[in-house]
Structure 1
Amino acid sequence: MQSGGDYGNGFHDDHHRDLEWEEKQVSGPGSFGRAKKRSRGGARGGGLSTNVPRVSDEQKKSLESPDSPPPCTDFDVAYFHSYAHVGIHEEMIKDRARTETYREAIMQHQSLIQGKVVVDVGCGTGILSIFCAQAGAKRVYAVDASDIAVQAKEVVKANGLSDKVIVLHGRVEDVEIDEEVDVIISEWMGYMLLYESMLGSVITARDRWLKPGGLILPSHATLYMAPISHPDRYSHSIDFWRNVYGIDMSAMMQLAKQCAFEEPSVESISGENVLTWPEVVKHIDCKTIKIQELDSVTARYKFKSMMRAPMHGFAFWFDVEFSGPASSPAENTSATSVASGTSSTSPSGEGNQKKRTNPSDALVLSTSPEAPPTHWQQTIVYFYDPVDVEQDQLIEGSVTLSQSKENRRFMNIHLEYSSAGRSFVKESVMR
């Protein structure tokens, strides 16, 4: 499918004031950075030990201002630490759609990288930094707060690039670079695009070092959502308990629903599961977005079901776009160009790497259900019980994604939706 034309979500009539019932989703205790399906734990950027300064509560208060980056917390320490594990980096590098699209984007912008200074935010093993050096960068600052930076330095040395790639072990908020830079590159995207809150570090790097008119890769990002039907998943997790070796175990179903659908699920679905054209939740221009905009994102939506089916929840996925300074932002393209089989479920999708019809338009990496799978997959917020919808039935409401007060790298999800005169609320926390 293709998304709607522009990036505005439109304001629709509010039918959510009198909620018929409420689905509350509260995660249980459990450690930060629990294993997730793509093994990124709760982390981007790796394992932090003594290289990031710790601050007292009094210092935190003095450091916290609208214009200052957040101080390093115990949650950040755990977050960075989870990225020290080689398996996380192996999985990301083996995601060919991800890694090859980044390499192609670097080579596509070689004229803007050659002879220039680059910062790689959250460099991990250093592979993107090396791609930039191979593209002719004069100097690359590879920044990572994880202990994986130690290995990155060895990788750089083994490839004879120590004179070009400088590995800085620390947070981008804390390390010092004594020159302006021409290019920022980063693979900052988390589940549902914004989970993990690493984009804030890219913004910090931009505001600290990027020259006016400099290049940021990726340049734009768009988060989409759509209602889905997934009876196989529901049957596998819930209906199984109706008859277990001839025994009625339906008394387990309520607990099974809570365990299966309490938290957002990262999994792969297909275009056949999607009930409607997707809508945009958030469009990001990496050159202009401010950190404060990431605190909370709210969008209203209005879908029309293309079929009669049980609606089991909402799916979220994203695109990122690699455009240079002269390229038109995604929001200025047509509806077909916006989706181009990437962000949505277009039957004619050509894969994750998308070149728009205009040769000057950008390369796009998609995590759409119709695109070849990536390690991001899709994120599904399931209802505890399905809602039956008819063909052409309207499904409308709002979604709010906000940083958790408990830990800014967690994400609170508040969904309001109504259909056929019934209104619902679903709340969950992505940990």
Structure 2
Amino acid sequence: MSHAGKKRKLDKNRQDRLYFDSYSDVTIHEEMIADHVRTNTYRTAIHRNSESIRGKVVLDVGAGTGVLSIFCAQAGALKVYAVEACSIAEQAEQIVKHNNLEDRIEVIRGTVETVDLPEKVDVIVSEWMGYALLHESMLNSVLYARDKWLKPDGIILPNKAELYIAPMCDPVAEDRLHFWYTVKDKYGVDMSCMYDFARKCVMNSDITVNTVTVEDVLSHPARFAEIDLHTVTVEELRSVKGQFSCESFGSAAVNAFCVFFTVTFPCPDKLQPIVLSTSPFKPETHWKQAVLYLGGAVEVVQDTPVTGEVSMYPSEGSARHICIHVDYTIGEEKRQAKTFSIPDWSAEAQP
């Protein structure tokens, strides 16, 4: 990805159009619904909260195909307003009719910021999370809906989110870098001088969305931020940050950090709350994990301290795109800092 020229900042209307257009194809909805951890956790949480939903009015923010709205109707909701901004709303209407629920679920085409509901709601449900929780997420829209439409004693599903970080070793990245030292034995040409160039390319500043295996995680994850959906403000989301501290499991080379999230649903029957986790220690989800590559590998031994601070904030080029800045210290190494972002190909494509 070229950084030679400054990216053009996309105006908000174009950002939103690009975002909503991406949800007009069947592929992304297939991926989300096929994510059993995601879909079944929402279904379980909604039915577990049936006492709070039965006979009540529900707002589904970013309803997509309407599956969460249908779960709410199955849990006894009197009325569900399924608000969806992209053209998949047409398919949601068909699905609602196909399930004979058009008398209780009303699909409304538009953004939650522009639609007009005829009444306040008792429950807001939304699957708003993006990669690394906040990338391209709809959380701002959920907060808008909360402030405008939710009754004072209403509930939000889910109602809490937490962010975690852990040092890791990605062996694939190490193998790619080591490759340049093997060329001479294979072909008689010494290309070891390519190492530094390859390191800059492989260990770049992109947020890489990938599946991290348990074996590659080098410490217990550390929580660095918590978001309460009942109280958090849009202003506070402009900088979500916190400190972290952990200790390495054993001897290894730390070459990246792994960032993931959980969201928690209230549990009125006083049992354990229901948690949807994207941890590498839990079953895989379509969110996978966010991998942040360091400038180079740092060797650690058992109980080497890894400390620092993480800051997450919207990109200057596109408010829907997240940047992650990490200040960190590994063992006796001097403090380092690096800023990461997910490549914004839509901005690069602009003339």
- TM-score, reference length from structure 1: 0.74
1:310 and 2:249 correspond: no
Alpha-carbon distance, 1:187 to partner: 0.6
How far apart, in 2, do the equivalents of 1:128 and 1:28 lie? 44
Amino acid in the other structure paired with 1:97: V
What secondary structure does 2:132 align onto? coil
Which deviates the most, 271-280 or 77-86?
271-280
Question: RMSD value over aligned CA atoms?
Answer: 2.2
Q: Which amino acid aligns with 1:360?
A: L
Match of 2:340 in 1: 428
Alignment CA distance shift 1:29-1:110 (3 Å): farther
List aligned pairs for 1:138-287, cutoff 5 A: 138-230=78-170, 232-244=171-183, 245-246=186-187, 247-262=189-204, 263-287=206-230
Match of 1:293 among 230, 236, 239: 236
Mark the runs of 5 or more structure 1 residues left unpaired by the alignment: 1-24, 33-70, 328-358
Instruction: Write the distance in 2 (CA, Å) between the matches of 1:99 and 1:30.
Output: 40
Task: Quote the sequence identity (%).
Answer: 43
Comparing both chains, which one has the higher relative contact order based on Cα–Cα distances under 8 Å and sequence gaps of 6 or more?
1
Q: 1:228 to 1:165 in 2, by over 3 A?
A: same
Cα offset, 1:72, TM superposition: 4.5
Question: Structure 1 runs of 4+ off > 6 angstroms?
Answer: 25-32
C-alpha distance in 1, partners of 2:123/2:6? 39
Q: What letter is aligned with 2:202? A: A
Aligned residue pair count:
336
Give yes or no for contact 1:27–1:428 (8 Å, CA) kept in 2. Answer: no
How many angstroms apart in 2 are the aligned matches of 1:375 and 1:282?
Answer: 22
Letter of the 1:243 partner, please give it: T
- Structure 1 residue aligned with 2:69: 129
Distance in 2 of aligned mates of 1:288 and 1:317:
22
> Aligned ranges for residues 407-422 of structure 1 at < 5 Å?
407-419=318-330, 420-422=332-334
Q: Which amino acid aligns with 2:304?
A: Q
Kept in 1: contact 2:203–2:296 (CA 8 A): no
Question: Retained in 1: the 8 A contact 2:165–2:244?
Answer: no
Partner of 1:57: none
Rounded Cα–Cα distance in structure 1 between residues aligned with 2:334 and 2:7: 37
Q: Give the CA deviation at 1:31.
A: 10
Q: Report the CA distance between 1:277 and its aligned residue.
A: 1.9
Question: Match of 1:97, SS?
Answer: helix
Question: How many Å separate the matches in 2 of 1:366 and 1:31?
Answer: 34
> SS of the counterpart of 1:238?
helix
TM-score by length of 2: 0.90
Counterparts in 2 of 1:144 and 1:252: CA distance versus 1, 3 Å:
farther
| Alpha-carbon shift at residue 27 of structure 1 (Å) | 6.2
Q: Secondary structure at the match of 2:142?
A: helix
Which 10-residue stretch deviates more, 392-401 or 161-170? 392-401
Displacement after TM superposition at 1:360 (Å): 2.6
1:350-389 to 2 correspondences below 5 Å: 359-389=270-300
> Is the 8 Å Cα contact of residues 7 and 317 (structure 2) preserved in structure 1?
no
- For 1:156 and 1:28, the matched residues in 2 are separated by 49
1:323 aligned partner? 266
SS of the residue corresponding to residue 416 of structure 1 reads strand
Change (3 A) 1:145 1:30: farther
Specify the code of the residue in structure 1 equivalent to 2:258. Answer: A
Quickly say closer, same or farther: Cα 1:135–1:312, change in 2 above 3 A: same
Match of 1:99 among 35, 39, 58: 39
Q: CA deviation at 1:121?
A: 0.7
Name the amino acid aligned to 2:192: S
Once the two structures are TM-superposed, the CA of residue 176 in structure 1 deviates from its matched residue by: 0.7
How far apart in 2 are the matches of 1:119 and 1:29?
43
